[in-house]
Structure 1
């Protein structure tokens, strides 16, 4: 049996009533966290440009847009996916290196609203989508991640699976949907060299392409039946080292969505380990940046590949600079969205400290990646003292989790651009999602101000 067929059988067999209560509650937190980032990002320039394009493309008013109004399900998935990936606070799964919410949830939301399905249907589809993309991401990581943005590539399979569940496709149709998803899977890391807006295009297109793949499959449009393991398929073409057994190990007996992590700092996740450590140290000791002689950050190779930038020139580049993020976290004792500003980018104290940050690959930490995204940090003080710090799990990982109250607070902070009563109602609707029949009521602009 092909891997696609085994995944398809899982998607078909998954029922809401079979999902444990703790998984349902956690899935609602993932959806709440998605809206945190989507609302915070909706007015950013790249998202405005995509919105302008969506308006030009037009289409039937089928699903709500995060910015207001409605468009086609494909356009809604595109815009709503892009919007949730720009402020760098969307969720992350360690082993697959995927921000699943930004691709799976907007695709599922658009189709579920269009088809007038309810909250239970949405929850079930999201669980299915996370499961599929996490497993595919795990199979090809970490080698796939060097050139390819897993959220864009592997995420496409997740969005297709979620939509397929909502459309009640057969096993055979889901196999075709996964085939069409895989042949559209794309997203190169080269955008990071320029800080290009393509990063927002990646999840938007992955969500949109998943919608397209599933909707075509509903019409019996065929796709490759062995898109993953085929000799010219996803594994062979896009990863020099893969483990196909990770697709099916424990499939149907566990819920991988429970492995999901949430981001507290508004920067690349590969910077969070050091930010956690130095910000906590600064708070505990009221540490003066002038008392720091040098900071050594030992971490895994992928973190160096993505975030080794000694001189970021934009806020966006700063979010992908381990040196800058480490210095910022120590000086400001925070990594919130409001901390990443133009003023702080050029803050003299931060800039001076950034020059004292040295990053390198720690072999032990590297060997534990991607199951553990850790760091060993040494803060050398001018008085000759050295403070050694380490972590295997940044704040927000399941092993170092955040509470539902903390995620609610995060939502309210990131949603501060909309009326507070509307934000509170969005959160309330999401946290009682199993009782919601009109999914348009998850969007702030569809609610009346109380």
Structure 2
């Protein structure tokens, strides 16, 4: 068996590892979810639906929906930006791209995965096609996809360092199993859904390194593949059987057997990684966030950009690979700015804040910010673990010869430095106002609907009813 091949490479996986995962997932019940997990799930919904609404103005999203609507004019699911009707795979793609377009979506920092830009669009589309999925069933499926994505990210601990985009590759697998539960598949059916998803799984990190629009489309591609995989499995089509453990499975082929499988399986369904997720306070790559926090603190201390001669930012290797290249204003690229720590640091120090306006044209070409960004040098700090996302050290050299060094090991929005409920709801309202021209009452209606979701007979129906209408012309 191919599992022997995995064992020879040191993984020592049991036979039918993928099936055992699916058997575990098939046994989950809503009543087994801790109260803290249900609360987090509701805030994932609030946060992600807000970010989707905010993406209405994001570069690439209008163009994507215009193209998709030329090809499809009807269907059983909804693209939230514009309220268009699509087939479930297409709706999942449209909503997934929107959820990631602002780079403002939730993240499991240790697993390095954005989750609800893939899992939630998959479930919205699946549930709309099924019709009248209860709030409890929807929340359970959301728990499955979210927990699995975090655990896959932890198990495949250096996926991003190898050049994969784990949000996409691992999210496709996690979301397919979540959709499979909505479709009431048994363990064997879930294994087929996992196999169908694995057969489609793709996504490299090159888009983020190049700072191009395809980066924000990636979760949409993953959600589309997850929907297709789950429904084909429900129709009785068979998928790969050893999707994780096989000789050409995820662990061997994608991860080169550099995997910690116990982080996927140990305590699954009993202990929870969902509580470890972070919400993002700034709409840019998470690798920038510690440096942004430091820069805002320096601004508040009265540090002025024109007094600075040079800046050195030290970070772990994977962070450096993701956001460490020099800022190239000539690109005129919003995505490049989102994935550039030199720009993000400069913007934060000069403005004392980073918000949706910070990564727009013409802000990304602001001469004062560009001048400071050009003074920044980003280097790998070998004292920081390769895959650590939070630690950063910034050294300022001033024109009068003084130096200042600031170190920070926590990151805003994480368990160690959480956003408050008030901050999360303020972010939600601001995103809906920015993208949908939504009034505060409109945002409150959607938030209250979500907070009462377990009592709803048609979870997606009520969320679609409460979601603000798109502005004319979107």
Note the C-alpha offset of 1:427.
1.5
User: Secondary structure of the equivalent of 2:412?
Assistant: coil
The two structures have a TM-score, normalised by structure 1, of: 0.94
- In structure 2, list runs of 5 or more residues that go unmatched: 1-14
In 2, are the aligned partners of 1:309 and 1:320 still within 8 Å (CA)?
A: no
Determine the C-alpha separation between the residues in 2 that align with 1:429 and 1:163: 22
**Alpha carbon RMSD of aligned pairs, Å?**
2.0
Bigger shift: 12-21 or 426-435?
426-435
In structure 1, the residue matched to 2:33 is 19
In structure 2, the residue matched to 1:322 is 341
Superposed CA deviations along residues 288-336 of structure 1, whole A, max 9, x for unmatched, are 1122222221100011111123133322211111111111110111111
In 2, are the aligned partners of 1:64 and 1:440 still within 8 Å (CA)?
A: no
Note the C-alpha offset of 1:236.
1.4
Matched, 1:224 2:243: no
Determine the C-alpha separation between the residues in 1 that align with 2:60 and 2:127: 26
In structure 1, the residue matched to 2:80 is 66
In 2, are the aligned partners of 1:137 and 1:150 still within 8 Å (CA)?
A: yes
Bigger shift: 150-159 or 38-47?
38-47
In structure 2, the residue matched to 1:277 is 294
In structure 2, the residue matched to 1:136 is 152
Matched, 1:422 2:436: no
- In structure 1, list runs of 5 or more residues that go unmatched: none
Determine the C-alpha separation between the residues in 2 that align with 1:289 and 1:97: 32
Matched, 1:7 2:24: no
Bigger shift: 165-174 or 342-351?
342-351
Task: After TM superposition, list the pairs within 5 Å mapping 1:252-331 onto structure 2.
Answer: 252-283=269-300, 285-312=301-328, 313=331, 314-331=333-350
Matched, 1:105 2:120: yes
Note the C-alpha offset of 1:133.
1.9
In structure 1, the residue matched to 2:267 is 250
User: Secondary structure of the equivalent of 2:383?
Assistant: helix
Matched, 1:365 2:384: yes
Task: After TM superposition, list the pairs within 5 Å mapping 1:46-85 onto structure 2.
Answer: 46-58=60-72, 61-67=75-81, 68-85=83-100
User: Secondary structure of the equivalent of 2:40?
Assistant: helix
Change (3 A) 1:127 1:145: farther
In 2, are the aligned partners of 1:28 and 1:430 still within 8 Å (CA)?
A: yes
User: Secondary structure of the equivalent of 1:443?
Assistant: helix
Determine the C-alpha separation between the residues in 1 that align with 2:58 and 2:408: 33
In structure 2, the residue matched to 1:395 is 412
Count of matched residue positions in the alignment of Structure 1 and Structure 2: 446
In structure 2, the residue matched to 1:40 is 54
Note the C-alpha offset of 1:231.
0.5
Runs of 4+ in 1 over 4 A off after TM superposition: 444-449
Change (3 A) 1:347 1:52: closer
In 1, are the aligned partners of 2:74 and 2:87 still within 8 Å (CA)?
A: yes
Determine the C-alpha separation between the residues in 2 that align with 1:278 and 1:271: 11
Matched, 1:412 2:426: no
Determine the C-alpha separation between the residues in 2 that align with 1:114 and 1:28: 22
Note the C-alpha offset of 1:432.
1.8
Note the C-alpha offset of 1:447.
6.2
Change (3 A) 1:362 1:45: closer
Note the C-alpha offset of 1:383.
4.0
Matched, 1:442 2:459: no
Determine the C-alpha separation between the residues in 1 that align with 2:461 and 2:79: 10
Change (3 A) 1:279 1:444: farther
In 1, are the aligned partners of 2:445 and 2:466 still within 8 Å (CA)?
A: no
Determine the C-alpha separation between the residues in 2 that align with 1:43 and 1:349: 25
